[in-house]
């Protein structure tokens, strides 16, 4: 029997935890409920818009006959598309909303959870109150250290979603509940101690409380108000375009003013109305960038922003994107970035020669680009607004085609040295009207090499593979590496000469494994395959092949494959 003193101490601890938790909830939830503009769902593009990549929007198993409930589901679909929920919770080529997408942080990998309506592995058993707590307070069912709430990490943008009305939160739940359930267990996070203890999030929330309100200007038109709602709440633009503090929370004063993505080489730029942001962009140019995947003369979205446009913004009604443009051209952060000084200094020696040797064939001698294939570099603000991280990342790792079935951006990770990439970046950032200072150094490139992501294409090539004993003679798909072979995403289609085919989608794990899903004969099952990279110890561009082997589900199908890699070359 425990002593009276021990029991008393337990009660005091429980009471203290309850008081602190209640105080935290009060701080993060505020006292005023948000007011959601009356946005109509409009015409969501179920299939990717013409000429653009992206996945079809997941659809309900069966729409209810009740008009009010059907309308609620369609409202939820609209909100989920605007929030880009499917992209974050779906592996490329995998089951929609089944989770497993890795997000790297300085403290380890966080994997998005299964949010299908499966009652065992998804959110099918969540009550309305529990789902509200997830989106509005960043707290999921369960406990940490027995007494603390199960706090979500701030990579889940609940700080933005908490501005949604209860009706909109319930609409999202109705939409997710209408989708096919996926009996796939969420992948465990790979966070280092003590960051894997969710109770520690309590202190972070006390130190960095958030607001549930959108501060609408008194003179704003209904269009600007709707744009504010879409930017600040649904599209959670500040989650990437805001600067995070040491406890990973977005700094309120740096909202939309740009900031580094955690543990990645990408730097989302200032998108406020300031001179260092998009204040000088015309509404038409900004609309084309956000809704039509960019245009020659303004540049094209790349890196993570490309997926935002293709899977979210391009699917919204054009009127909503016009409203986003109207708001962004009025938004002003409390702390702005310094305006980069114009420079007349000569670029780093050798930059011009490197450009003509490696880039001019695609982007043009004057950086003019090629319509619908290679974006322009001349006058492209994305290349010089803020630090050079994005340009360096593109040079290092390349990227997939601007439009499907067109040319890829080559990677130069192995071909060019740190000094050469610095020279090339300085030349591009200061030529043809670009206004950056000559400030890229070899040390900058060296620091980004381990973080840069490489996009390479899976190919039949000289593959040596069998699928359940039959020769595999048709392989396609992509491999995206984020700095090292333990951090990757694979999406592949493999077909054998016997007519058997399997689709794989998964993310790498330390220790040489690929964890994800395999779809064979219409059935999707979780798999863990042995994975080994050939040709390089780290980094994607030196790879010559990927070895995958292991069982594919419960029917004793097996895969033993060496997949050749085709890395785009200049």
| 3-class secondary structure per residue, 35-47 | CCCCCCCCCCCCC
Contact status, residue 272 vs residue 386, Cβ threshold 8 Å: no
- Around Cβ 52, how many Cβ atoms within 10 Å? 19
Burial 137-146 (b: 16+ CB within 10 A, else e): bbbbeeebee
Q: How far apart are CA 310 and CA 308, in angstroms?
A: 6
Q: Which of 315, 258, 41, 27 is nearest to 159 (CA)?
A: 27
Q: How far apart are CA 447 and CA 390, in angstroms?
A: 13
Question: 415 exposed, middle or buried (CB, 10 Å; 0-12, 13-18, 19+)?
Answer: middle
Give the domains, in start order, of the chain with CATH numbers.
4-207 (no CATH), 343-451 (1.10.760.10), 453-566 (2.40.128.110)
Q: How far apart are CA 464 and CA 496, in angstroms?
A: 11
Tell me the Ramachandran region of residue 468: left when phi exceeds 0, alpha when psi lies from -120 to 50, beta otherwise: left
Helices (H), 441-562: 442-448
DSSP label at 144? Answer: E
Q: Give me the pLDDT at residue 11, please.
A: 38
Q: How far apart are CA 306 and CA 300, in angstroms?
A: 8
Q: How far apart are CA 446 and CA 122, in angstroms?
A: 41
DSSP label at 446? Answer: H
Per-residue pLDDT tens, the chain, 570 aa: give them. Answer: 344 343 334 333 333 333 333 333 333 333 334 444 445 566 788 888 877 888 889 999 999 999 999 999 999 999 999 999 999 999 887 889 999 888 877 777 888 999 999 999 999 999 999 999 999 988 889 877 777 887 888 788 888 899 999 999 999 999 999 999 999 888 888 877 877 777 777 767 766 667 778 888 899 999 999 999 999 999 888 888 877 766 666 676 667 877 777 767 788 888 888 766 777 788 998 999 899 888 776 677 887 888 899 999 999 999 999 999 999 988 776 555 554 454 444 455 689 999 999 999 999 999 998 877 888 898 887 787 778 888 998 898 887 777 777 777 877 887 889 999 999 999 999 999 888 888 899 999 998 887 877 777 777 666 677 877 788 888 888 877 776 666 788 888 888 877 888 888 888 877 788 888 888 888 888 888 888 877 654 444 456 677 888 888 765 778 887 776 655 443
Q: Give me the pLDDT at residue 336, please.
A: 55
Q: Give me the pLDDT at residue 203, please.
A: 67
Q: Which of 270, 284, 277, 223 is nearest to 242 (CA)?
A: 270
Paired strand residues for 502: 494, 520
What is the C-alpha end-to-end distance of the chain, expressed in Å?
75
**Structure tokens belonging to residue 316:** 């919204």
């Amino acid at each position: 029997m425990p002593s009276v003193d021990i029991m008393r101490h337990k009660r005091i601890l429980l009471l203290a935890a309850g008081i602190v938790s209640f105080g935290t909830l009060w701080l993060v939830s505020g006292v005023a409920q948000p007011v959601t503009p009356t946005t109509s769902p409009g015409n969501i593009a179920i299939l990717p818009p013409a000429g653009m990549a992206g996945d079809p929007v997941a659809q309900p198993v069966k729409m209810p006959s009740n008009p009010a409930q059907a309308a609620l589901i369609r409202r939820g679909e609209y909100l989920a598309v605007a929030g880009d929920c499917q992209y974050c919770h779906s592996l490329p080529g995998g089951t929609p909303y089944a989770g497993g997408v890795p997000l790297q942080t300085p403290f380890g990998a966080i994997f998005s959870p299964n949010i299908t309506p499966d009652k065992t592995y998804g959110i099918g058993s969540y009550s309305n109150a529990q789902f509200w707590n997830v989106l509005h307070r960043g707290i999921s069912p369960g406990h940490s250290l027995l007494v603390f709430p199960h706090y979500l990490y701030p990579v889940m943008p609940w700080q933005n979603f908490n501005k949604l009305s209860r009706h909109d939160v319930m609409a999202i739940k109705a939409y997710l509940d209408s989708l096919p359930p996926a009996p796939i267990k969420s992948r465990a996070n790979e966070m280092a101690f003590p960051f894997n203890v969710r109770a520690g999030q309590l202190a972070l929330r006390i130190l960095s409380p958030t607001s549930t309100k959108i501060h609408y200007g008194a003179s704003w038109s209904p269009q600007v108000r709707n744009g504010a709602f879409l930017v600040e709440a649904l599209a959670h633009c500040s989650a990437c375009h805001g600067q995070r503090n040491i406890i990973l929370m977005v700094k309120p004063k740096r909202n939309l003013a740009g900031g580094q993505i955690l543990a990645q080489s990408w730097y989302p730029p200032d998108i406020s109305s300031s001179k260092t942001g998009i204040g000088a962009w015309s509404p038409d140019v900004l609309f084309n960038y956000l809704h039509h995947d960019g245009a020659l003369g303004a540049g094209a979205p790349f890196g993570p922003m490309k997926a935002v446009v293709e899977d979210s913004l391009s699917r919204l009604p054009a009127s909503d994107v016009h409203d986003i443009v109207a708001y962004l051209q009025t938004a002003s952060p409390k702390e702005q970035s310094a305006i980069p000084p114009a420079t007349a200094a000569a670029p780093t020696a050798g930059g011009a020669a490197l450009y003509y040797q490696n880039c001019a064939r695609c982007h043009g001698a004057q950086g003019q680009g090629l319509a619908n294939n290679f974006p322009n570099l001349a006058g492209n603000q994305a290349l010089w607004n803020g630090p050079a991280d994005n340009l360096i990342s593109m040079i290092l790792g390349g990227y997939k085609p601007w439009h499907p079935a067109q040319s890829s951006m080559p990677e130069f990770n192995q071909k060019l040295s740190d000094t050469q990439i610095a020279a090339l970046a300085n030349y591009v950032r200061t030529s043809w009207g670009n206004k950056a200072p000559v400030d890229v150094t070899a040390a900058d490139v060296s620091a980004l090499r381990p973080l840069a992501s490489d996009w390479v294409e899976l190919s039949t090539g000289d593959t040596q593979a069998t699928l359940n004993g039959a020769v595999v003679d048709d392989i396609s798909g992509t491999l995206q590496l984020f700095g090292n072979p333990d951090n990757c995403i694979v999406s592949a289609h493999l077909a054998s000469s016997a007519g058997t085919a399997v689709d794989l989608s998964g993310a790498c794990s330390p220790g040489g494994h690929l964890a994800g899903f395999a779809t064979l004969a219409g059935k999707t099952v979780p798999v863990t395959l042995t994975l080994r990279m050939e040709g390089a110890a780290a980094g994607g561009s030196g790879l010559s092949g990927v070895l995958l082997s292991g069982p594919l589900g419960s029917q004793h199908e097996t895969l033993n494959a060496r997949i050749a890699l085709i890395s785009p070359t200049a």
